[in-house]
Structure 1
Amino acid sequence: MPARRWWRAWGSRRRPSELSEWPGLSLGAGKHQHKWQLTGPQGARAEVYFTPRMVTTDMLALREAAIAGIGIVQLPLLMVRDRLAAGELVVVLDEWQPCREVIHAVFASRRGLLPSVRALVDFLTEEYQRMEED
């Protein structure tokens, strides 16, 4: 997702392979290959490798960098829904979606689970289920 003003300047793209031509913003650390994995029409899959303009472990920083026009980013809808609605960000490829990510919550036992941790796990579960329904 890029900033709307950036989108106008760079133009639209139709295929995932064209995304590597744009400056990307990446979540990560260390020296690994940066790629976006996408699922498209009729279950088609694509991997887009790119050289990032910015790499960080902070998703909020990536979102703000995209809004500032530094590049395009792939983030969870939960983090960008309000910015999309406000017109600050735009979706690049409507027919292509990020591949589903699996999130695991690991803890020693349910007996020793703090109520605050249980509440967080329940909240995240509900939010991700709601996102799936949208």
Structure 2
Amino acid sequence: MPGFLARYPRVRLQLIATDHPVDLIAERIDLALRVRVALTSDAALTMRSLGTSDDIGEIEWHLERADGVTHRLRHQPRMTCSDFTAVRAAAIQDRGVAMLPDHVCSEALRQGLLVHLLPEWRAQMGIVHLVFTTRRGLPSAVRALIDHLAATFPK
């Protein structure tokens, strides 16, 4: 977001982070960034795929190897949180094992604050996508944000 705000200094941006589904129309939300294993949504909404990300499970982790072999790891976590930075902080403080997307933990791994367990396994890939109500009549700032996210999302 800092790059977007620097490019568009007159745009005001309000971000809402939540781990539950939102009704874009009823809640008057212009744009949602979602990560799902399958692209399912209301037919009235428009979607734009950005790329993929690891999917974090709360009670069951779906793991896969590069050769396509999958495994479900069922467990009772001591803590769950939709904020990856809080999960990373807990793991750094030796509070347990965490499944985190690469972009959240790569620096801590590089610094030796975290250790990559089960390096042959990874989380099931999720599809990172934007959801918005319409292509026509979209405020120019929202259109600019969509284009910015599409151009800068790591592929």
Q: Which residue identity lines up with residue 105 of structure 1 in the other structure?
A: L
**Structure 1 counterpart SS, 2:85:** helix
**Structure 1 counterpart SS, 2:72:** strand
**Cα distance change on mapping 1:118 and 1:68 into 2, 3 Å:** farther
**Cα distance change on mapping 1:78 and 1:41 into 2, 3 Å:** closer
Between the aligned partners of 1:123 and 1:78, the Cα distance in structure 2 is 18
Q: Which residue of 2 aligns with 1:81?
A: 106
Between the aligned partners of 1:69 and 1:53, the Cα distance in structure 2 is 12
Q: Which residue identity lines up with residue 91 of structure 2 in the other structure?
A: A
Deviates more, 1:101-110 or 1:42-51: 101-110
Q: As a proportion of its length, which structure holds more helix?
A: 1
How far apart are residue 128 of structure 1 and its match? 3.3
**Structure 2 counterpart SS, 1:61:** helix
In the superposition, the TM-score normalised over structure 2's length comes to 0.55
Gaps of 5+ in 2: 1-55
Q: Which residue identity lines up with residue 37 of structure 1 in the other structure?
A: H
**Cα distance change on mapping 1:53 and 1:106 into 2, 3 Å:** same
How far apart are residue 57 of structure 1 and its match? 2.2
Among 44, 54, 66, the alignment partner of 2:91 is 66
Q: Which residue of 1 aligns with 2:71?
A: 46
Give the share of equivalent positions with the same residue, in percent.
36
How far apart are residue 108 of structure 1 and its match? 1.1
Between the aligned partners of 2:117 and 2:144, the Cα distance in structure 1 is 35
Q: Which residue identity lines up with residue 68 of structure 1 in the other structure?
A: Q
Gaps of 5+ in 1: 1-26, 130-134
Superposition RMSD in Å: 2.3
How far apart are residue 75 of structure 1 and its match? 1.2
Between the aligned partners of 1:77 and 1:64, the Cα distance in structure 2 is 15
Q: Higher relative contact order at CA 8 Å, sep ≥6: structure 1 or structure 2? A: 2
Between the aligned partners of 1:39 and 1:114, the Cα distance in structure 2 is 40
Taking the TM superposition and a 5 Å limit, the aligned residue runs for 1:1-134 are 34-125=59-150, 126-129=152-155
How far apart are residue 82 of structure 1 and its match? 1.1
After TM superposition, what 4+ stretches of structure 1 lie above 2 angstroms from structure 2? 110-128
**Cα distance change on mapping 1:107 and 1:36 into 2, 3 Å:** same
Q: Which residue identity lines up with residue 109 of structure 2 in the other structure?
A: L
Between the aligned partners of 1:122 and 1:111, the Cα distance in structure 2 is 15
Q: Which residue identity lines up with residue 78 of structure 2 in the other structure?
A: R
How far apart are residue 85 of structure 1 and its match? 1.1
**Structure 2 counterpart SS, 1:105:** strand
